Amino acid sequence: MAALVDGFGRVHTDLRVSLTDKCNLRCSYCMPPEGLDWLPAESVLTDDEVVRVVGIAVRDLGITDVRLTGGEPLLRRGLVDIVARLAALEPRPRLALTTNGIGLARMAGGLAAAGLDRINVSLDTMHRATFVALSRRDRLDDVLAGLDAARAAGLTPVKVNTVLMRGVNEDEALDLLDYCLEHGLELRFIEQMPLDPQHGWDRDVMVTAEEIVATLSARHTLTPVGERGSNPAEQYLVDGGPAVVGVIASVTKPFCAACDRVRLTADGQVRNCLFATEESDLRTALRAGADDAMVAARIRAAIAGKRAGHGIDDPLFLQPIRPMSAIGG
Ligand code: SAM
Ligand code: SF4
């Protein structure tokens, strides 16, 4: 099997599959308060189509890791069954899920039993009022219950994704770390990226990875762990370990040179980068009767055209038309 390689020699082994563009939160860095025009149901890939594409990816393209995301993937009907079918593929991919945690208290056990290996839960604040201001919904308790259930279900590690925003939750880095240390969760901070539909992102006010490390270092000893490789997070041992904290400097220290990711949107478009301005239409090919070799060739062609980097610092940078929720984070 030939690996999925781009023009810069980067080998792609990580497929991110968005299962829906819908969401039950409205995080300000991701969605406008009124939501978006959701994809028409008929354009969303069916369970069979998703399983077929992932099957081709693991058998013919060397994909070893699959992450299910959205929108909010727990809103996808049939999610547990999709996970079970993906876990039955040969070779079996490692299966991960990124979720806002709402409904996870109910679903974590079933997902783990179906074969989910790992989970990332997004949590930006420990304060109810801030949660409401940030996500425009009063659901903090559901997220915390979801985190407990994920641990109890044996999903390991349970990672927590946090985006800090100036004047909103930037003062919570230490409290979030304390919470995660106490509850056996692995925290990762992600620099906010220009993927909001309101185009309100401003590099000058963004909370940087450097600032986050400085804030955490005021109370903890952080020791860098090894090379970052294709892992976007710089990892640090906290107070000598074994607990670690990650900081993803997606903007200030991009990991594009080691990127191994390819994305499939809920409506079946292949994206070779979060910031890609072009997509390759797999859905039409699938529904026009393309055989597995043709589907694989399309994905290869999409990766062959991948740019060297996201170019956020380029004066000609254009934010992609799809916001984060519609791409799949
Ligand atoms: N709804 C799920 C969730 O919130 O985890 C999955 C989809 S969400 C788009 C995936 C991740 O992207 C979340 O951790 C979220 O915080 C992050 N995210 C969304 N918009 C972002 C942005 N503009 N910059 C950085 N991270 C962002
Ligand atoms: Fe929904 Fe996740 Fe976007 Fe928040 S970050 S609005 S939870 S898709």
Q: What is the mean pLDDT of the chain?
A: 93
Q: Which residue has the CA at smallest separation from atom 10 of ligand 1?
A: 329
Ligand 1 pocket test, pick from 25, 30, 124, 206 with the greatest ligand atom count within 8 Å of Cβ, gives 30
Using the 8-state DSSP alphabet, how is residue 223 labeled? Answer: E
Map out the domains of the chain as residue ranges: 14-327
State CA 118 to chain mean position distance: 12
Among 3.40.50.150, 3.40.109.10, 3.20.20.70, 3.30.160.40, what is the CATH number of 14-327? 3.20.20.70
First to last CA, the chain: 28
Q: Which ligand gives the minimal distance to the CA of 192? A: 1
53, 286 Cβ separation under 8 angstroms:
yes
With 70 as the cut, is the pLDDT of residue 316 above it?
no
Query: For residue 226, what pLDDT is reported?
Result: 79
* 90 DSSP assignment: S
Instruction: Kindly give the number of the ligand 1 atom that is closest to the alpha carbon of 69.
Output: 6
pLDDT, tens digit, 9 for 90 and up, residues 30-76? 988 998 899 999 999 999 999 999 999 999 999 999 999 999 999 99
* Closest ligand (CA of 329): 1
- DSSP label of 269: E
Q: Is the predicted pLDDT of residue 152 greater than 90, yes or no?
A: yes
Instruction: Report the nearest-CA residue for atom 8 of ligand 2.
Output: 71
Q: How much distance in Å is there from the Cα of 325 to the middle of ligand 2?
A: 6
User: 2: CA distance to ligand 2 center in Å?
Assistant: 35
CA 324–ligand 1 middle distance (angstroms): 7
| CA-31 nearest atom, ligand 2 | 6
What pLDDT score does 140 carry? 98
Q: What is the pLDDT of residues 234-255, one digit of tens each?
A: 999 999 999 999 999 989 988 8
Question: Which tokens go with 243?
Answer: 């607990």
